[in-house]
Chain A
């Protein structure tokens, strides 16, 4: 019993089944999610060879609820509350592009003051979403303080939105034709003071998190997405901006009031995890300036909501409008056949597009980099499933 052949002979004689060891046997299959603390409502199967990930297969759909089909059964206004469910933290933005597309189909124009308030709600919501995202990025890397601080500061923005829209997360505020209500009294001063406070807090975040050498070690140079790959994969939002593509829908295709606002597209060149995690912070800082300008330039009074029938319907046609949400370009493709109910609604969401980059980035990384890479893609499972 010295050579392997003799062993095979022996096992054949005994009637045992012996399988030769293959390359696959060295790999360990790990199912990350849907009950994994580092996945969200999402599952991806990874295989690890030692400490390296050699295979990744995303498997979304755990929170798929058929938003696109549901839209075909409800009229334009009734679609709003359920359309904001995929990203309740960013519900103003997810309704924004829907409203824009419906407005294009129906043919109404939003009053100027309404456009400003819509943009304010959208920017505040971007802050809320990004702070929440940042908090989870912190806890994924084991930094519990970075979980608590943004979660606490997010409360400020949520309170502002609560005063503005009346609800903490699911606002149902940006509707076709404008916004539901005017801004309350004293909102402007409150908003300005809280933005100022938030800008001070961003420096603290940089001190404790972004400039922390341990965080830098974990993210710098990890999972680099080159510019060519980013374009080819069609990723969007902070992911593509981290790969030195300065694309922002607010700048590229300014909707509503954004062509009057002066701001810069924040982007970075490196394309690694650090850039992907730092660009959202830069975005938030830019968003603070945008908010200040919006509050400054807003007309003192005026209509906020165009007159709209309860069942708005336009001529048959198609429209594709997009906005820049917290996770990148968020587009709605709506086909109308002349009835109050849309004939077909298609959401093109940033999370779904960014998910394509996950297998490309994860393969070849260490297992410990998995949460850092996964969450740096600015991926929100519920939105991707729709």
Chain B
């Protein structure tokens, strides 16, 4: 409502502002500051370069920025940073947001229209923020008879699961949240949760269309999980490891696996489209038949969270494609190394790795966006037929190629093409 209330008075408005400031000051001085000091008293302060990081030292870095570098470096090493910022959630969310914007502009260009235009001066670049604000401010409607706990929990679980996949993706040498030896298996294990969440949510909505959508999601997942895993298995055969970082390193030692396993890459690409429920495989959300599928009863930020989750998932699967087939962060060195005696955050190798990784990921994401512009939705029987008959056979063909490469001595330890 843009209009002022009838009895609006400027004096009261200023008075309420002053009242607000007063309460903030009271709370800060009486509650927040004592709490901080209590925490500082008990918690041991981090020790950086032989110096204890006291609040005094921390504040001096405002005057002497040079002294802040070790602090930042030590922060970059923490797991918290990895989880929350760089290879973790924030990085994924930013790429997801960029994906949404790129998708809208890309599709608009293909369809001879303009796309978002007015939010933000330049070509509607702030449209996403506007959409987010709109979704946050909307009322969340829960259907009567819905299972409230699951209905609230499912969107959060969806985002969390999507972020958990991101945690396993190495974005640069050493830059991975969880560098575990069974990384690939863990990825597929986590991906297996998504249809379950969809099914739970659709059941909890207590409505017919979501129910059909949830069941379709389950069908789709079962039909495509097997070719998905099989196509990744041939990568494991070539690299000899399940650790994603080592998969990338083995590609750096020889060549990108997409040259040896093009069919597997194709199967992986198709299966990940199905996993992401993108057109032409968006049967669980087919709006012409089952309104919006399992998203029918969502409203407000519940819908926003589910969308955010699905776009983070898009990033995760695109990044997985890059790691498995496109050599991860490998690429020619374009960032100059700066020789300096002083402490520096900038590391040319890492910057290069991040650059190439992001570039390749965006390339794959664009490839995943392309089918939305050119194909209609396919039917569920064709989908199941594709998954069970065609893709599994294709995946097996390329696995035999991979085995032949290993036993023929072309790849693998001491192979012909291993540098």
Residues of A within 8 A of B (CB): 28, 30, 36-38, 51, 138-149, 152, 208-209, 212, 214-215, 217-218, 366-371
Decide: A368 near B373, CB < 8 A? Known: A148-B112, A217-B378: no
Q: Which of B112, B209, B279 contacts A142 (CB 8 A)?
A: B279
Q: B residues within 8 A CB of A208?
A: 374
Q: Tell me, in angstroms, the Cα distance from A37 to B372 when the chains sit together.
A: 19
Ordered nearest first, which 4 A-B pairs have the shortest CB separation? A142-B377, A148-B111, A38-B288, A141-B376
CB<8 Å pairs between A and B, sample of 28? A28-B208, A38-B287, A51-B380, A51-B381, A141-B288, A142-B288, A142-B377, A143-B375, A143-B376, A144-B107, A144-B372, A145-B110, A152-B113, A212-B374, A212-B375, A214-B280, A214-B375, A215-B375, A215-B376, A217-B379, A218-B378, A366-B380, A366-B381, A367-B212, A368-B377, A368-B380, A369-B379, A370-B289
Q: A residues within 8 A CB of B289?
A: 38, 367-368, 370-371
Instruction: Tell me the residues in window 336-376 of chain B with beta carbons closer than 8 Å to chain A beta carbons.
Output: 372-376
The reply to whether A37 and B291 form a contact with Cβ atoms under 8 Å apart is yes
| Interface of chain B: mostly helix, strand, loop or mixed | helix
Q: B residues within 8 A CB of A212?
A: 374-376
The reply to whether A152 and B376 form a contact with Cβ atoms under 8 Å apart is no
Decide: A149 near B288, CB < 8 A? Known: A142-B377, A214-B375, A366-B381: no
User: Does B225 belong to the interface (CB within 8 Å)?
Assistant: no
Chain B residue, CB-CB nearest to A37: B287
Chain B residue, CB-CB nearest to A51: B380
The reply to whether A214 and B376 form a contact with Cβ atoms under 8 Å apart is yes
Q: A residues within 8 A CB of B212?
A: 367
The reply to whether B287 and A217 form a contact with Cβ atoms under 8 Å apart is no
Q: Tell me, in angstroms, the Cα distance from A190 to B357 when the chains sit together.
A: 51
Decide: A149 near B287, CB < 8 A? Known: A141-B377, A214-B378, A218-B376: no
Q: A residues within 8 A CB of B378?
A: 214, 217-218
Known: A141-B376, A149-B112, A367-B212. 15 other contacts (CB 8 A): A30-B208, A30-B209, A37-B288, A51-B380, A140-B288, A143-B377, A145-B110, A152-B113, A208-B374, A209-B376, A217-B378, A367-B289, A369-B379, A370-B288, A371-B289
Q: Tell me, in angstroms, the Cα distance from A242 to B123 when the chains sit together.
A: 45
Instruction: Tell me the residues in window 368-399 of chain B with beta carbons closer than 8 Å to chain A beta carbons.
Output: 372-382
Instruction: Tell me the residues in window 182-238 of chain B with beta carbons closer than 8 Å to chain A beta carbons.
Output: 208-209, 212
Q: Tell me, in angstroms, the Cα distance from A215 to B379 when the chains sit together.
A: 10
Q: A residues within 8 A CB of B372?
A: 144
Question: How many A-B pairs with Cβ below 8 Å?
Answer: 86
User: Does B286 belong to the interface (CB within 8 Å)?
Assistant: yes
Q: B residues within 8 A CB of A147?
A: 111
Q: A residues within 8 A CB of B288?
A: 37-38, 139-142, 370-371
Q: A residues within 8 A CB of B275?
A: none
Q: Which of A140, A145, A217 contacts B374 (CB 8 A)?
A: A145
The reply to whether A148 and B208 form a contact with Cβ atoms under 8 Å apart is no
Minimal beta-carbon separation of A376 from chain B (angstroms)? 13
Minimal beta-carbon separation of A149 from chain B (angstroms)? 7
Q: Tell me, in angstroms, the Cα distance from A77 to B104 when the chains sit together.
A: 48
Minimal beta-carbon separation of A156 from chain B (angstroms)? 12
Q: A residues within 8 A CB of B373?
A: 144-145
Q: Tell me, in angstroms, the Cα distance from A218 to B282 when the chains sit together.
A: 14
Q: A residues within 8 A CB of B379?
A: 217-218, 366, 368-369
Residue of A138, A141, A209, A369 contacting most chain B CB atoms (<10 Å): A141
Minimal beta-carbon separation of B206 from chain A (angstroms)? 14
Minimal beta-carbon separation of A118 from chain B (angstroms)? 32
Q: Tell me, in angstroms, the Cα distance from A147 to B376 when the chains sit together.
A: 11
Q: A residues within 8 A CB of B380?
A: 51, 366, 368
Minimal beta-carbon separation of A344 from chain B (angstroms)? 39
Minimal beta-carbon separation of A138 from chain B (angstroms)? 7
Q: Tell me, in angstroms, the Cα distance from A48 to B131 when the chains sit together.
A: 37
Q: A residues within 8 A CB of B113?
A: 148, 152
Chain A residue, CB-CB nearest to B113: A148
Chain A residue, CB-CB nearest to B378: A214
Q: A residues within 8 A CB of B312?
A: none
Chain B residue, CB-CB nearest to A375: B288
Minimal beta-carbon separation of B277 from chain A (angstroms)? 12
Instruction: Tell me the residues in window 109-146 of chain B with beta carbons closer than 8 Å to chain A beta carbons.
Output: 110-113
Per-residue CB contact flags for chain B residues 275-319 toward chain A (1 = under 8 Å, else 0) read: 000011011001111110000000000000000000000000000
